[in-house]
Chain A
């Protein structure tokens, strides 16, 4: 049962595509998953949800896709309040990639797993196959007839993303997509997520606690702690706030540590977010 509470503090100047409006949710055992959570997603942006384990990131994510319903507040996606009647159409618009890739790959082969979503949307097997092949091409997977179990960890993640991509959602939500991957696979996933925004015009929401990745990838950062968003803003502001990050149980990204350590953090507008930016700025200063 959703009540009509609204905190009224959300800015009304921008048109959001997802609006989590002061949502609270308690688990059956009484644990509060999220409390008075206010969160928005705008078109063509990458939002990083950063917080330690158990902060409520996954709970928030599952509300956006309609897997969980709020006890208090409402979730709007493209102007529609999520309820049991429209949840199927919501899921066409919001694709969700879970943390555990293994549990998302449940069909006999890679291609058939990616076809699963389009077939559920009512496409014919032929159309679904073409869509699936396109999605696998986007993520760069060629092993289409393999049993998913025999893929590497990185490949499983990419196939899981392809499985959601094949439904052509407007928003992709990913829960810790690079967790426990080796650096080269993690980089591949990161580049893929970035390309979804740049080349396909999608909005991407990524839950993570890797602040280096957040610095490289995100247009906007939300810090989640104890079921609420405690801070939100541009990466240059959030990721250089040592006290804020410590409160949230997070760490400064490496770039920020170096920048601050060298005593160069005098102009917030010039804060580097990637190693390349850092090196370019240092070279400039050296000149």
Chain B
């Protein structure tokens, strides 16, 4: 099994499951339903809250949740790359076109463009919102065992989707390792040196094509193995995921109250909108 991560800026499921299965912290022992409900409330709050400072507090709370899980911060910083990139690619245009006070201007190819304060504010809000949800989401998956995620998926998704989710989640490890191994083999023969776009493209197309072929062949074997053990279309329920504790319920209730308040103040009584 290859232990290389492909890239420092894309979360690796193998690393995520390593922390989930082996970590010990108060967050690890929190019920998975509680964490799932909290993810929902963080999501709603990130969407509904409009004040940058309060959004930043939300982000800090999610970061505290991550740290409470005894999870590596350095890893998180690397994994912020994609969300930051996505926010930036969109907000980059709005930075210059958002109506507001001009802070700096320049001429590009005869066109006058200016960064506005509203553009910077928009960028900051989008960034904080995104990072709050991403941080909590990663913390959830890095502190929740696979079997608990499987139990939640079985309960919350329709059967065909739950079945696909469970099998694909399980085999992401295998396929990731397999593709990793092929890349290692390529790198070991200096295959990473770019020698022309066409050659490079064909090389990777071959790797990807092989990946799909192996995946389909594995799929055929899995189907046979499942049928050989009496599978009739529904994954059996292995265990019940316990309910949250009283503390968990209380925590979620509090978060829901905040959500409700935020929704009310945002959409019903916007006179206080300046505060939230």
Q: How far is the CB of B71 from chain A (nearest CB, A)?
A: 19
Contact indicator B238/A119 (Cβ below 8 Å): yes
**Cα distance, A117 to B226, chains bound together (Å):** 9
Say yes or no: is B232 at the interface (Cβ < 8 Å to chain A): yes
**Cα distance, A96 to B231, chains bound together (Å):** 13
**Cα distance, A164 to B229, chains bound together (Å):** 7
Contact indicator B225/A104 (Cβ below 8 Å): yes
Give the residues in chain A near B222, CB-CB below 8 Å: 103-104, 106
Say yes or no: is A79 at the interface (Cβ < 8 Å to chain B): no
Contact indicator B231/A120 (Cβ below 8 Å): yes
Contact indicator B221/A98 (Cβ below 8 Å): yes
Contact indicator B147/A112 (Cβ below 8 Å): yes
Instruction: Tell whether A167 pairs with B225 under 8 Å between CB atoms, given A109-B146, A125-B239.
Output: no
Q: Which residues, 86 to 134 on A, are CB-close (under 8 Å) to B?
A: 88, 91-92, 95-96, 98, 100, 102-104, 106-109, 112, 115-117, 119-121, 125, 128
Give the residues in chain B near A167, CB-CB below 8 Å: 229-230
**Cα distance, A285 to B170, chains bound together (Å):** 57
**Cα distance, A104 to B231, chains bound together (Å):** 12
Give the residues in chain B near A91, CB-CB below 8 Å: 227-230
Say yes or no: is B236 at the interface (Cβ < 8 Å to chain A): yes
Q: How far is the CB of B9 from chain A (nearest CB, A)?
A: 24
Chain B residue nearest to A103 in the complex (CB):
B221
**Cα distance, A121 to B236, chains bound together (Å):** 10
Contact indicator B227/A125 (Cβ below 8 Å): no
Chain B residue nearest to A62 in the complex (CB):
B224
Contact indicator B228/A107 (Cβ below 8 Å): no
Give the residues in chain B near A96, CB-CB below 8 Å: 228
Give the residues in chain B near A109, CB-CB below 8 Å: 146-147
Give the residues in chain A near B146, CB-CB below 8 Å: 108-109, 147
What is the number of residues of chain A that contact chain B, defined by CB distance less than 8 Å?
34
Give the residues in chain A near B150, CB-CB below 8 Å: 108
* 0 or 1 for each of B249-260: is its CB under 8 Å from A? (1 = yes): 000000000000
Contact indicator B174/A102 (Cβ below 8 Å): yes
Say yes or no: is B171 at the interface (Cβ < 8 Å to chain A): yes
Say yes or no: is A253 at the interface (Cβ < 8 Å to chain B): no
Say yes or no: is A67 at the interface (Cβ < 8 Å to chain B): yes
* 0 or 1 for each of A26-65: is its CB under 8 Å from B? (1 = yes): 0000000000000000000000000000000000001001
Say yes or no: is B218 at the interface (Cβ < 8 Å to chain A): yes
Give the residues in chain A near B75, CB-CB below 8 Å: none
Say yes or no: is B21 at the interface (Cβ < 8 Å to chain A): yes
Say yes or no: is A149 at the interface (Cβ < 8 Å to chain B): yes
**Cα distance, A86 to B24, chains bound together (Å):** 48
**Cα distance, A163 to B225, chains bound together (Å):** 10
Contact indicator B167/A106 (Cβ below 8 Å): yes
Q: How far is the CB of A129 from chain B (nearest CB, A)?
A: 8
Say yes or no: is B173 at the interface (Cβ < 8 Å to chain A): yes
Contact indicator A115/B236 (Cβ below 8 Å): yes
**Cα distance, A67 to B230, chains bound together (Å):** 11
Give the residues in chain B near A145, CB-CB below 8 Å: 147
**Cα distance, A149 to B171, chains bound together (Å):** 8
Say yes or no: is B271 at the interface (Cβ < 8 Å to chain A): no
Question: With contacts A103-B221, A107-B238 known, what are 16 further pairs, Cβ within 8 A?
Answer: A67-B228, A91-B227, A98-B221, A106-B167, A106-B171, A108-B146, A112-B238, A112-B239, A121-B230, A125-B237, A125-B239, A128-B236, A149-B170, A149-B173, A164-B228, A167-B230
Q: Residues of A at under 8 Å CB distance from B?
A: 62, 65, 67, 88, 91-92, 95-96, 98, 100, 102-104, 106-109, 112, 115-117, 119-121, 125, 128, 145-149, 163-164, 167
Q: 10 shortest A-B CB distances, which residue pairs?
A: A119-B236, A120-B230, A103-B221, A108-B147, A117-B229, A104-B225, A112-B238, A149-B173, A96-B228, A108-B150
23 pairs of residues in contact across A and B, judged by CB atoms under 8 Å: A67-B227, A88-B230, A91-B227, A91-B230, A96-B228, A98-B228, A102-B218, A103-B222, A104-B221, A104-B225, A106-B226, A107-B238, A119-B236, A119-B237, A119-B238, A120-B229, A120-B236, A125-B237, A125-B238, A128-B236, A148-B170, A149-B174, A167-B230
